[in-house]
Chain A
Amino acid sequence: MSFGTRRVVLGLIAMAAFLVLFPLVLERSGGGIALASRILVLALFGLGVDLIFGFTGLLSFGQAAFYGLGGFVSGFLLIQGIVHSTLGALAIGTIVAALGGLAVGALSMRQIGVYFAMLTLAFSQMFYFLDISALRNFTGGENGLPGVPRAQVLGLHFTSNNEAYVFIAIIYFVAFAVMWLIVRSSFGHVLRAILENPQRAAAAGHDVFRYKLVAFTIAAAYAGLAGGLLGIFQGYLPPDMFTVDTSGQIIVIEVIGGPGTLVGPLFGAIVYIYLSQVLQNFGAVAGLWKLVLGVVFVLLITGFRRGIAGGVSTFWSQYLQRSRPVPVGNGE
């Protein structure tokens, strides 16, 4: 086994172990397993954001559109009984979200930087208004969609909160492994080149537009899958899935977690969700919880240049260097 393959295998084992231990630790520190599920849904949503922002350099303020689209499509199909299979409904929701991403991406990607970000924001606002007004007979408008059934796969029912966590954790694990494959591929290498220097990537002969568009489509698929999972786990699809607030939240999670690391959004979601929960129940500051959260984010962003994941990896490599025997008389 090559060094690279061994690293991936060890990484996936560590991730599996984490997913098993995570709810146990969380329960001891005052969160429930439902909180763990919520964190994994956002971490999954964030994997797509990491692909476009952390690996390709595209800042989108419109990811909520695909999160909501995937959620409402798969939720609607299940509630109406049009599709009975949970995985089937999730797959359709994911594909519809991906097609939405492809369309929005194709229309926005000719612009770069802040103009691209503004276009994605405008498109997601359009989706939001479709959700609460034009399509309200399907989406429940401002009331959202209640009654999404819990997961059922091959006769297995994931009904309790614990079972729902298992279902979400398995999907997150597979999605994480797939994303890792993507960023380690030749395709992923071209994305990193685009992040570093898009002009040079084009001059080397790469069709930068198409690479960015495909990355954006994959990110939309991840958002759609995460949205579908949220509906199944909550049993309810809130209209605020489509809001700018949701798009902003996932960017904050990506940035504090550590862009370009894949595990960053998981760290970011843990900090974001856990802190929001704890602070809201913390007597003295309960009313000011968003203010305190804001201060914590400022400290995290100024303190760690590449988010929590970047901070951890810097600390780790320094620790490794210190514990390694120093070679004598071979300085550079």
Chain B
Amino acid sequence: MPLLEARDLTMRFGGLVAVDHVSLAIEPLTVTALIGPNGAGKTTFFKMLSGELQPTSGEVYFKGERITHLGVARVAQRGIAKSFQITQIFPKLSVAENVLVPALAATRGSFRLDAFVPLAGARGAHAIADRVLEQVGLLERRDLRASSLSYGEKRRLELALALATEPEVLLLDEPTAGMSPAERSAMVELLQRLRERLTVVIVEHDMDVVFGLADRIVVLQDGHQIADGPPAEIRGHPRVQEAYLGGVA
């Protein structure tokens, strides 16, 4: 049984069909890359997987259960986390306080009225926060205000916010966008470590990153799925070369 499955997902915005009958089954502990030109529907497809958008038609299944209409918070509680394309942090909180937010969701569930229990005593959440900050290399930055981090550090904090929900599936929306080559290779190295215990779905424009990480590549164009296969096969796929790779690869 696949871990995460999209069945016949369609998303219409008025007259525009952003995603058109796309199905995809993700096996556990694999890395699947979603590529395609701008406007292909990758981000919309992601938002339906994460519960941010409700599809016009079609269903999303996680471990065999339908999660299509649960909404983003309950999908996150089930174990699917997303790192956003545009950094979505808590700018005025410190780095540690940022990561505590998802860590508290992981330890306390979607709601708990523990209004008289000090945050300082939430040991489980602090342990998760420290571990995740260590993983992404922000432990020494823990007491800085998130808004004062460099761009590359903010991207790592963005990833940390997803990781601290303790997910089984990690959805990464362009994790290396706008990064310097050094920052990018550090991020790829980090993702290589994460794939050993997480199922990853990644939207990415950098082909070195895609071909370096993915077990499987799915190509979208104008909301349609035009190819699906292992990297070697995709590299030689004539329609993909024409639509996206522009004959470079």
Please report A residues at the B interface, Cβ cutoff 8 Å.
2, 4, 181-182, 184-190, 192-193, 196-197, 199-208, 210-211, 214, 218
| Partner of B73 from A193, A196, A206 at Cβ < 8 Å | A206
Q: In the assembled complex, which residues on chain A have CB atoms less than 8 Å from the CB atom of B93? A: 192-193, 196
Interface flag for B36 (CB, 8 Å): no
Whether B115 contacts A197 by the Cβ 8 Å rule is no
B184-220 contact mask (Cβ, 8 Å, vs A): 1 or 0: 0000000000000000000000000000000000000
CA distance in complex: A33, B229 (Å): 80
Can you list 18 A-B pairs with a CB-CB distance of less than 8 A?
A: A2-B120, A181-B115, A182-B115, A185-B119, A186-B112, A187-B117, A189-B104, A189-B119, A192-B97, A197-B90, A200-B101, A203-B50, A203-B81, A203-B82, A204-B101, A205-B77, A207-B73, A211-B111
Q: In the assembled complex, which residues on chain A have CB atoms less than 8 Å from the CB atom of B122? A: 186
Q: A193-B90, A204-B101, A205-B105 are in contact. Are A187 and B72 (CB under 8 A)?
A: no
CA distance in complex: A181, B119 (Å): 10
CA distance in complex: A204, B113 (Å): 17
Interface flag for B92 (CB, 8 Å): yes
What's the minimum C-beta distance from A252 to chain B, rounded to whole angstroms?
23
Q: In the assembled complex, which residues on chain B have CB atoms less than 8 Å from the CB atom of A199? A: 88
Please report B residues at the A interface, Cβ cutoff 8 Å.
50, 52, 71-74, 76-77, 81-82, 84, 88-93, 97, 100-102, 104-106, 108-120, 122, 125, 161, 164-165
Whether A187 contacts B114 by the Cβ 8 Å rule is yes
Give 15 new A-B contacts, CB below 8 A, not counting A186-B117, A193-B90, A214-B113: A181-B115, A187-B114, A187-B117, A188-B115, A189-B100, A190-B101, A192-B93, A200-B88, A200-B89, A200-B161, A205-B106, A206-B101, A206-B104, A206-B110, A211-B111
B99 and chain A: residue at smallest CB distance: A204
CA distance in complex: A210, B108 (Å): 14
Whether A182 contacts B106 by the Cβ 8 Å rule is no
Q: A192-B93, A197-B89, A207-B73 are in contact. Are A187 and B113 (CB under 8 A)?
A: yes
What's the minimum C-beta distance from B142 to chain A, rounded to whole angstroms?
15
What's the minimum C-beta distance from A184 to chain B, rounded to whole angstroms?
5
Q: In the assembled complex, which residues on chain A have CB atoms less than 8 Å from the CB atom of B92? A: 196
Most chain A beta carbons < 10 A, residue from B73, B90, B101, B112: B101
A218 and chain B: residue at smallest CB distance: B115
Most chain B beta carbons < 10 A, residue from A184, A185, A203, A218: A203
CA distance in complex: A200, B93 (Å): 13
Most chain A beta carbons < 10 A, residue from B71, B109, B112: B112
Whether A187 contacts B115 by the Cβ 8 Å rule is yes
What's the minimum C-beta distance from B41 to chain A, rounded to whole angstroms?
20
What's the minimum C-beta distance from B154 to chain A, rounded to whole angstroms?
13
What's the minimum C-beta distance from B117 to chain A, rounded to whole angstroms?
5
Q: In the assembled complex, which residues on chain A have CB atoms less than 8 Å from the CB atom of B89? A: 197, 200
Whether A205 contacts B118 by the Cβ 8 Å rule is no
| Partner of B101 from A187, A193, A210, A218 at Cβ < 8 Å | A193
Q: In the assembled complex, which residues on chain A have CB atoms less than 8 Å from the CB atom of B110? A: 205-207, 210
Q: In the assembled complex, which residues on chain A have CB atoms less than 8 Å from the CB atom of B102? A: 204-205
Q: A185-B117, A197-B89 are in contact. Are A202 and B125 (CB under 8 A)?
A: no
Q: In the assembled complex, which residues on chain B have CB atoms less than 8 Å from the CB atom of A202? A: 71-73, 76
| Partner of A205 from B76, B90, B113, B114 at Cβ < 8 Å | B76
CA distance in complex: A187, B114 (Å): 6
| Partner of B76 from A182, A204, A211 at Cβ < 8 Å | A204
Whether B111 contacts A207 by the Cβ 8 Å rule is yes
CA distance in complex: A202, B90 (Å): 12
What's the minimum C-beta distance from B166 to chain A, rounded to whole angstroms?
10
Q: In the assembled complex, which residues on chain B have CB atoms less than 8 Å from the CB atom of A2? A: 120
What's the minimum C-beta distance from B23 to chain A, rounded to whole angstroms?
25
Q: In the assembled complex, which residues on chain A have CB atoms less than 8 Å from the CB atom of B50? A: 203
Whether B116 contacts A185 by the Cβ 8 Å rule is yes
Whether A206 contacts B90 by the Cβ 8 Å rule is no
What's the minimum C-beta distance from A23 to chain B, rounded to whole angstroms?
30
Q: In the assembled complex, which residues on chain B have CB atoms less than 8 Å from the CB atom of A4? A: 118, 120
What's the minimum C-beta distance from A203 to chain B, rounded to whole angstroms?
5
